[in-house]
Every structure is written in C-alpha cells, then in structure tokens.
C-alpha cells in the first residue's frame, strides 16, 4: 500500500521499553498513521504499521495482521488501554499486537464475572459436570498442541524442543483436578450429643490470577485447573510480554463447554491492568507468580481487602554436589537445572556448591558441557537448538549488569559472560538481532570470592551460574541457606543417609535429590522466606481456592430438646451450654 502524506512516528520507547527512540536511519520502525481513512478499519489512528522503506514522498506500509483481543464472557473483546506490541525475542521483531484492558475494562469484567459466579451456572454445578468439563479441556488441549506450541515458542523465545516436552504435560493438571473433585471425601467431625457436624468446601468467588512471561501456559494452567475445579470465576492477567497463548486457552475452554464469563483474560501492564485487578473489592483471592518486590506490593493490597493470597516469587536455588555423587550424572543435572528456559525459571539452580575434593573435576566437565550447549544454539524454531534467547532487552540488560559487576570485582569467568552477537554455527541465526546470552559460569578467583558479589545474592533470571567449593557438610548447608529466598534446592549424592540429613536442613519449599525440576500436579510447589506464600499443585492448591463451611445439625427429638436445651428455663437443673 503506497500512501503520501505526513507520518506521525511513535518512538520505540513506547513500544519497546529499554531501547532508544527510533530515527529515520532505522531500517525498520513502528509508527502510527494519522489523518488517513481506510474503510475496513474502525480506528485507523490506533493501528500500528511497519514502515519498511522511506522515500521523499512515499511510505510503503504493511498493516499488522496479527491482532489479538481480550477474552471476556466467552468472546473476543477490544480493550481500552494502549495495545501491547508482542515481540519475538529471537529476532526483535514485533509480530503481533494485543488489546489491553483499561481500569474501566477491569471493573466491568470483574463485576460480570461476579454475576456469573452468583448465578451458580458454574459455582453450583454438580461436581461431575465440572469434572467432565475439565476432562474435555484436557482433550481439546491435546488436539491443539502443535498450534499452541508454535505460538508459545514465538512469544517466549523458548527452544521448541523444550516446548515439545513441556506443553503436552499440561493436560495432567486438568485431569488431576477432575479426578480430585470426583473422589473428594468430606469430613464428619466427632460431637457430643445428638449432633451431626460435617465440613463442606465452597468456592471463593471471583479470583485474580497473575502469570509471568517464562512459562505462560504452564503457570496459567497450574492456577486455572484448581480454581475451576473448586467452582470459582477467574480473571487472568498474563504477562504483557507473552499474553497470546492464554487468550487461546480461553477459546479452547469455551469449546469444551465452560460457561461464558467463568474464565476471562485481560492482557495489560502491571501498573494499569494488574493494579486495577488486585485492588478490586470483588476479588476474593489473588494468585500471583512473579518477582518478590511485586509480590510484596500485591500482597499488601490483597491484605487490605482481606482477600486470600498465594504467591510464588523469586528464587536463588542452591545445588549441592557432594563427593559421594556420581559426577557425570551431577553435571548433567546441573546444566538442566540451570539452563532450561535460558535460566529464566524461579527454581533455576544458580548457586552450585561443590565439595572441594571434586571441584576441579566438576568445573571442567561443566565447562565442556556448557560450551557444547553454546555451539548448538540457534533459532528457537530449530528442533536441534539447545537454548533460546532471553525474553527482552530489559532482561538481557539485567543479566549483563550482574555479570559485569562480578567481572569488575575480579571473579573468574570460566566460560561465557558476554552477549552473543555472531551468527549461529548451527543454522546461521543472527544472534545480534535477538536477546541471546550464552550459558555462563562464574567462579572464585585468587583475589575475589564469588560469595562477596551481587550475583551470589540477587536473582539474575538468566543462564548464569556461580560455582563455589566447600569442605564439610555444615559448610555446604550454610552456603545453601545464605539467601533471602527459599523456593527450590537440590542435592547430588549417592549416600542415602546424607540425602535425608541434608534435605531436612535446607531452607526451601522444594528439595530434589539426584534430580531437578520434577513437577507433578499432586506435589505442592511453593516457597518459604522471600520466595512466597502458600503453594501451587495438589490438594493444598484446591483447598486454597475454597473456604470451609461447617454445618451442625441437631437431630434430637423435640422432647429431648425441651429437657436439655432451654437455657433460660425456670428452676434449676442441668442445661446444656451452646
């Protein structure tokens, strides 16, 4: 499409925070077209265009075709906030736009979800109806895997070999909670006298779920499945960086028969959409996965509203390798624990604590393994690629800052430690266009201890590990527990007694022995210390989406009641209190 006229160019800062403003020298830049009419566009002033060639009087403009909308009341809906530009982290290309919710949108959707909850169409539906719906969601999810995996790879930059392994497992959460509500037993409590006391569990109402960019579908499903099983209505706010597959989940749930308005997706940023959502007085629970500072702020708001709260927050997971470990197995375990998802997981093993007797051996094997990963990095769409980019320029900058701080302090860079700007030897991917950072190992130098640097304490959320040595079991535990966080931890040893002893004393919500990242719907997943409140998965997560209701029935006869239950009767005699 060729157009002549003035183009009001929007700076890159509005679409890509952290990058410099666009100039006329940029080969590709984003603008908004003003004062032109297109009969097929409802709001031309809000449509983004990619300008690919500029002449004195002519602009060649390609309209962004991939536009995603909010998912509200079982259908797509336009949002009132500024649209989100969804970027491919491997190329830096904006490949989609996504509608975002304004504060007014949030208010309207929460109120509607509340009405749906009160109607009882889902909250009071028989258990077998809810269970059957969850099973149908699992079935449809299985059918949709290729399309969802492709989209998840595009928006996250995660290697497709990871997504091919992870995404198919999500059906287990829907199946698990379907089975749980089919088989759940209710307590009948012992009482004195002719009383029958049982405990029921009731859904809370409208719940807010806030999910991060690193595992968009996995973390969403871990929250959605127990909330739906319990009978709640959901308003989900996905990360503004990766909202697309969450919207697709909404469409899939409608097809499975979930009533309209029970599940809603409101993309948007934290300061507008997220804030309005967690502050809403009709929200009865907030379930968030994210950073610790955000978790503290959200928790304070939830507390003011007396809303239930679950938070899975930051981590700085230790991984201890004892001399009794099988070294090759331990090295394989370390690289998986540390570099899956490019290190962008809250349980990533970032502090590797190795017994000094095997330290040199472990470091050499780690170095070889890590360099092998780097050699086989390429496009995330390539099934042979081992690791993808970081999610954004901002996240890349965070990693570079912490690594450079350690470099300046004088620690040893065993391998990696600098942004990738070359072409891939695997498939010629141009790393300089995306946010690629190599798997990196840092260690003590003769003059500087890694434990004295910021990266020992602070969460980098990238493919960077630090390696330290120890002599005694007590020293290993002190190093492992030297953190404000307490989410995941791991131990590698062939000594079973040592495994029990050390795992009992590690300060973490999850501890793996001779493995890592194992995650089952039945197994609680949550942290202690600054890593969060409550847990995902299992019966605990289901119960956290409910409130208990105690019902006591007096089945004594009228004559028995008149004889023992008239507290204010005339005369004396034994009368029951309460």
| Confidence (pLDDT) at 578 | 63
Number of H helices, E strands in the chain: 18, 28
Across 217-231, average pLDDT: 98
What region does 484 belong to: left with phi over 0, alpha with psi -120 to 50, or beta?
Answer: alpha
Minimum mean pLDDT among 40-49, 206-215, 528-537: which range?
A: 40-49
| Confidence (pLDDT) at 113 | 98
Return the percentage of the chain with pLDDT > 90, whole number: 84
Measured CA to CA, the distance from residue 276 to residue 278 in angstroms comes to 6
Q: Looking at the predicted structure, is the pLDDT value of residue 205 above 60?
A: yes
Q: Looking at the predicted structure, is the pLDDT value of residue 446 above 50?
A: yes
Q: Looking at the predicted structure, is the pLDDT value of residue 38 above 50?
A: no
Q: Looking at the predicted structure, is the pLDDT value of residue 311 above 90?
A: yes
| Confidence (pLDDT) at 575 | 74
Which has the higher per-residue pLDDT, 100 or 51? Answer: 100
Q: How confident is the model at residue 563 (pLDDT cuts 50, 70, 90)?
A: confident
Q: How confident is the model at residue 3 (pLDDT cuts 50, 70, 90)?
A: very low
Q: Which fold has domain 317-522?
A: Aldehyde Dehydrogenase; Chain A, domain 2 (3.40.309)
In the annotation, is 139 catalytic?
no
Q: Looking at the predicted structure, is the pLDDT value of residue 412 above 70?
A: yes
Q: What is the dihedral of CA 416, 19, 315, 373, to 10 degrees?
A: -30
SS3 282: coil
Sequence-separated (6 or more) residues with CB below 8 Å from residue 388: 89, 90, 153, 156, 157, 158, 159, 162, 342, 377, 380, 436
| Confidence (pLDDT) at 69 | 98
Q: Looking at the predicted structure, is the pLDDT value of residue 45 above 80?
A: no
Sequence-separated (6 or more) residues with CB below 8 Å from residue 478: none
| Residue 284, number of CB atoms within 10 A of its CB | 23
* Residue-wise DSSP of 475-538: HHHHHHT-SSEESEEEEE-S-HHHHHHHHHHS--SEEEES------TTS-B--EETTEES-BSH
Q: Looking at the predicted structure, is the pLDDT value of residue 44 above 50?
A: no
Q: How confident is the model at residue 42 (pLDDT cuts 50, 70, 90)?
A: very low
Supply the mean pLDDT for the chain.
Answer: 90
Across 285-309, average pLDDT: 97
| Confidence (pLDDT) at 219 | 98
| Confidence (pLDDT) at 239 | 98
The catalytic residue among 312, 374, 459, 536 is: 312
Check the CA dihedral 152-158-159-161 and report its sign: negative
| Confidence (pLDDT) at 64 | 57
β-pairing, 488-492 vs 510-513, is parallel
Measured CA to CA, the distance from residue 337 to residue 334 in angstroms comes to 5
Q: Where are the domains of the chain?
A: 67-71+80-313+539-547, 317-522
Across 217-238, average pLDDT: 98
Helix (H) or strand (E) holding 82: strand 81-88
β-pairing, 528-529 vs 317-321, is unpaired
Tens of pLDDT, residues 415-428: 999 999 999 999 99
Question: Is 67-71+80-313+539-547 in CATH node 3.40.605.10?
Answer: yes
| Confidence (pLDDT) at 30 | 36
b/e per residue 213-227 (b: at least 16 CB within 10 A): bbbbbbbbbbbbbbb
Q: Note the helical H segments in 65-170.
A: 103-119, 127-143, 145-156, 160-166
Measured CA to CA, the distance from residue 500 to residue 112 in angstroms comes to 50
Return the percentage of the chain with pLDDT > 70, whole number: 89
Measured CA to CA, the distance from residue 147 to residue 150 in angstroms comes to 5
């Amino acid at each position: 499409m060729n157009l002549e006229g003035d183009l009001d160019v929007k700076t890159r800062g509005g679409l890509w925070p952290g990058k410099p403003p666009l100039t006329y020298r940029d080969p590709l830049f984003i603008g908004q077209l003003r004062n032109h009419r297109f009969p097929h566009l409802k709001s031309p002033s809000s449509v983004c265009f990619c300008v690919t060639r500029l002449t004195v009087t002519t602009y060649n403009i390609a309209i962004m075709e991939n536009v995603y909308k909010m998912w509200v009341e079982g259908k797509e809906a336009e949002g009132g906030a500024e649209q989100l530009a969804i970027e491919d982290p491997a190329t830096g290309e904006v490949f989609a736009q996504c509608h975002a919710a304004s504060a007014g949108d949030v208010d309207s959707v929460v109120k509607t979800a509340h009405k749906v909850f009160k109607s009882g169409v889902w909250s009071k539906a028989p258990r077998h109806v809810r269970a059957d719906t969850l099973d149908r969601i699992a079935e449809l999810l299985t059918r949709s895997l290729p399309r969802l995996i492709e989209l998840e790879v595009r928006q996250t930059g995660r290697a497709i070999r990871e997504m091919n392994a992870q995404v198919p497992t999500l059906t287990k959460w829907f199946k698990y909670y379907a089975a749980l509500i089919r088989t759940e037993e209710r307590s009948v409590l012992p009482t004195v006298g002719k009383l029958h006391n049982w405990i029921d569990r009731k859904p809370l109402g409208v719940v807010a779920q806030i999910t991060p960019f690193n595992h968009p579908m996995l973390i969403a499903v871990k929250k959605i499945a127990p909330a739906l099983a319990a009978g709640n209505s959901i308003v989900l706010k996905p990360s503004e960086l990766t909202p697309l597959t969450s919207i697709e989940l909404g469409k899939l749930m409608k097809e499975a028969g979930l009533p309209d308005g029970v599940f809603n997706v409101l993309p948007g940023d934290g300061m507008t959409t997220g804030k309005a959502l967690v502050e809403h007085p009709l929200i009865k629970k907030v379930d968030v996965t994210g950073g610790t500072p955000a978790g503290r702020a959200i928790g304070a708001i939830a507390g003011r509203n007396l809303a239930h709260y679950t938070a899975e927050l930051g981590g700085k997971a230790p991984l201890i390798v004892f001399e009794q470990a099988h070294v090759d197995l331990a090295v394989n375990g370390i690289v998986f624990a540390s570099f899956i998802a490019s290190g962008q997981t809250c349980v990533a093993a970032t502090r590797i604590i190795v017994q000094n007797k095997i330290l040199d051996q472990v470091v050499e094997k780690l170095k070889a393994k890590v360099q092998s990963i780097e050699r086989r990095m390429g496009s995330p769409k390539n099934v042979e690629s081992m690791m993808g980019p970081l999610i954004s320029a901002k996240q890349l900058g965070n990693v570079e800052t912490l690594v450079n701080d350690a470099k300046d302090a004088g620690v040893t860079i065993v391998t990696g430690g600098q942004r990738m700007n070359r072409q891939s030897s695997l498939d010629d991917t141009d790393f300089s266009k995306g946010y690629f950072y190599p798997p990196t190992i840092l260690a003590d130098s003769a003059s500087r201890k890694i434990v004295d640097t910021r990266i020992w304490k602070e969460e980098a959320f990238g493919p960077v590990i630090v390696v330290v040595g120890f002599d005694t079991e007590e020293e290993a535990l002190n190093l492992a527990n030297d953190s404000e966080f307490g989410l995941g931890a791991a131990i590698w040893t062939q000594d079973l007694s040592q495994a029990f002893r050390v795992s009992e004393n590690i300060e973490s919500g999850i501890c793996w022995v001779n493995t890592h990242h194992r995650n089952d719907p039945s197994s609680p997943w949550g942290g202690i210390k600054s890593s969060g409140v409550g847990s995902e998965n299992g019966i605990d997560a289901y119960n956290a989406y409910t409130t208990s209701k105690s019902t006591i029935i007096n089945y004594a006869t009228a004559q028995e009641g008149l004889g023992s239950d008239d507290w204010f009767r005339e005369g004396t005699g034994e009368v029951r209190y309460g």
